[in-house]
Amino acid sequence: MFGNLAQRCIEEIDLADYTLAEAKEAFRGIWKLGNLWALDFHGEPIGLIGFQRDEIDVGVPVLATFFVGKAKFFDPAVPSVRFGRKFMRKMQTEFDNLPVVSMCYGVHPEIERWYRLMGYRLAETYGVQRNFVLDPVRRL
């Protein structure tokens, strides 16, 4: 996957102040924990998404996300946002209904809209970094 990443993913890794080798190592660690999934479209792997329990502030548990994809993942013919909405909620419930935090360094003008369509809200911005949160599902 890392040999054929979309240019926008390579740029995000760089803007996050990581090297490609460091990003690859982070994904390898998530894979070893069993928290990495390959995303495929018609049998072709087009992305990787991983999850890691983390904390924000002191003692506030969250589920952090890690994502890279090929250019095909971002093709309008691929229903990635629709898939993302269902998949992220499924993963959230599997990880104890924790808030899901996705840090984004992308600059595409539609990023906020895509996250909103997946159910996220923009929580905070630090320069180019935007943190989106998928709040826990409310239980009655």
Average pLDDT over residues 22-44: 95
User: What average pLDDT does the chain have?
Assistant: 92
Question: In terms of DSSP bridges, do strands 60-69 and 44-56 run parallel, antiparallel, or are they unpaired?
Answer: antiparallel
Q: What pLDDT shows up at residue 84?
A: 87
Residue 56: its pLDDT value, please? Answer: 78
Residues shown for the chain? 140
What number does CATH give the domain 2-134?
A: 3.40.630.30
Res. 60 pLDDT band, cuts 50 70 90: confident
Q: Put the strands of the sheet holding 100-104 in their side by side order.
A: 36-41, 44-56, 60-69, 100-104, 129-134, 121-126
Is pTM beyond 0.85? Reply is yes
Q: Identify the band that residue 120 occupies on the pLDDT scale cut at 50, 70 and 90.
A: very high
Those residues whose C-beta lies under 8 Å from the C-beta of residue 104, and which sit 6 or more positions away, are 12, 111, 115, 129, 130, 131, 132
- For residue 13, the one-letter residue type is I
Domain spans of the chain, in order of start: 2-134
Q: Are 8 and 108 in contact (CB under 8 A)?
A: yes
C-alpha to C-alpha distance for 128 and 134, rounded to whole angstroms: 20
For the residues 2-26, what does the mean pLDDT come to? 95
pLDDT of res. 17: 94
pLDDT of residue 58 exceeding 80, the answer is no
* pLDDT above 70: residue 140: no
Say yes or no to pLDDT of 43 above 70. Answer: yes
CA distance 115 to 125: 14
Which phi-psi region, left, alpha or beta, contains residue 77 (left: φ > 0; alpha: ψ -120 to 50)? alpha
